[in-house]
Amino acid sequence: MKIVIVGGGAAGLLAALAIKEKHPRDIVTVVDKNPKLGKKLRATGNGKANILNLGNLKGRYQHEMVAQNLFRDITRENILKFFHTHHIATLNDGDYVYPYSESANAFTDTLVKEGKALGVIYQSETKAIDYKNNVLITDQGKISFDRLIIASGLASHPQLGADANFVLNLANHGYHIVSLRPGLTPIKTIEKTKSVSGIRRKVHVTLLDHNQVYLDEDGELLFKNDGLSGIVIYHVSSQVTRFALKAPEVVVDFLPHEHFAGSLTDYFSPALASYLKPYKDPKHVIFHVKDIANYHDSVATIGGISLKDIDQNFKSKIESNVYIIGEALDQDGLCGGFNLMWAFATALKVSAII
């Protein structure tokens, strides 16, 4: 059987390895438009690749039930065992899991090396354009297939090769594409922040819209020239987008574990103390979201191929020999390894049933 995978990123590389291992006689080909496979994967987790999260899944995914069902079936232990049997030892930092090498590059290289050893064919610098009658049409020619796996990701970080065009074109095949928006991004605020740009603080953040709470979380905040960043703010941006909040307010407690008594300079650097002076209480500073950043600064894209178009095995309901995995689907997680974990679990799920 000929299996062609569009996209040599997190999901595609893992699927290729797992399928070839299970079906050594099948011809498994991965096509990727970039010269280097796993270009984005190599940049994940600040170069360390936060590949998995062992924590509670509650509130971590856009479509939580689908994620719960998937991880009941393909457990975190299953994913880790797969890595361990492929010479990738792992390291836990609380709930966050990294390759022991703490190198996203070495991690990606090992996935490819293991696949090559089994005979996976990797065709880089090959852009898939469309497919018809069991033939994938690329800018380098045609490749016939019996099964097609779509693992081409979406739009976040185009500078790392992300490209949503293959997915968007699937509308012509009858798929429903939930509108794409940048998720996990910095936010631009109405309040000016330039004077404190570069300052980081551990804070507590509450995201409100019309008195309803959409996020209530501790985390690190980073002031930028035109707004706020940091993981907790990435989560704010995704909630603002997911719920299409009209008048979001980000309430920041700059002293999450203290009562405020004394003067601001007792707690903060002179620059931050001076910035916070106009606010009455450093435990309740409100920022108003003007905008969220674009795909260039986005970690995960919200939207994608509707989950209604696939069955529980990630097999297309529209075309009998097509499977869709990873970020290409309308699913996105919060920071902490949830997005790579989704990519890997969907890949293992398809490899188990193909």
Ligand X SMILES: Cc1cc2nc3c(=O)[nH]c(=O)nc-3n(C[C@H](O)[C@H](O)[C@H](O)COP(=O)(O)OP(=O)(O)OC[C@H]3O[C@@H](n4cnc5c(N)ncnc54)[C@H](O)[C@@H]3O)c2cc1C
Binding site for ligand X (CB under 6 A): 6-12, 31-34, 39-41, 43-45, 49-50, 127-128, 151-153, 156-157, 160-163, 166, 299-300, 326-328, 337-340, 343
Query: Measured from the CB atom, is 272 or 343 closer to ligand X?
Result: 343
Give the CA-trace dihedral at 106, 110, 112, 116, to 10 degrees. 140
Give min distance, CB of 254 to ligand X, in A: 27
Residue nearest to ligand X (CB): 9
Looking up tokens 């779509």, which residue turns up? 150
Query: Measured from the CB atom, is 168 or 208 closer to ligand X?
Result: 168
Query: Measured from the CB atom, is 285 or 299 closer to ligand X?
Result: 299
Per the structure block, which two tokens stand in for 183? 């998720």
- Least Cα distance to 201 among 254, 151, 279 occurs for 254
Give min distance, CB of 148 to ligand X, in A: 12
Give min distance, CB of 300 to ligand X, in A: 5
Q: Give residue 133's region: left, alpha or beta (phi > 0; psi -120 to 50).
A: left
- CA–CA separation, 22 and 19 (whole Å): 5
Give the CA-trace dihedral at 82, 88, 94, 95, to 10 degrees. -30
Query: Measured from the CB atom, is 8 or 248 closer to ligand X?
Result: 8
Query: Measured from the CB atom, is 128 or 203 closer to ligand X?
Result: 128
Per the structure block, which two tokens stand in for 308? 């209604």
Query: Measured from the CB atom, is 152 or 193 closer to ligand X?
Result: 152
Secondary structure, 3-state, 278-314: CCCCCCCEEEEEEEECCHHHCCEEEEEECHHHECCCC
Query: Measured from the CB atom, is 163 or 191 closer to ligand X?
Result: 163
Query: Measured from the CB atom, is 240 or 343 closer to ligand X?
Result: 343
Give min distance, CB of 39 to ligand X, in A: 6
- CA–CA separation, 342 and 304 (whole Å): 14
312-335 per-residue burial string, b: 16 or more CB within 10 A, e: under 16:
eebbbeebeebbbbbbbbbbbbbb
> Is there a contact between 208 and 214 (Cβ–Cβ < 8 Å)?
yes
Give min distance, CB of 52 to ligand X, in A: 8
Give min distance, CB of 255 to ligand X, in A: 29
Residue 2 burial by CB count (10 A; 0-12/13-18/19+): exposed, middle or buried? middle
Give min distance, CB of 129 to ligand X, in A: 7
Query: Measured from the CB atom, is 170 or 276 closer to ligand X?
Result: 170
Calculate helix-pair angle for 338-353, 64-73, nearest 10 degrees: 60
First to last CA, the chain: 11
Helices and strands per DSSP (H, E), number in the chain:
8, 19
Give min distance, CB of 46 to ligand X, in A: 7
- CA–CA separation, 70 and 101 (whole Å): 28
Give min distance, CB of 170 to ligand X, in A: 11
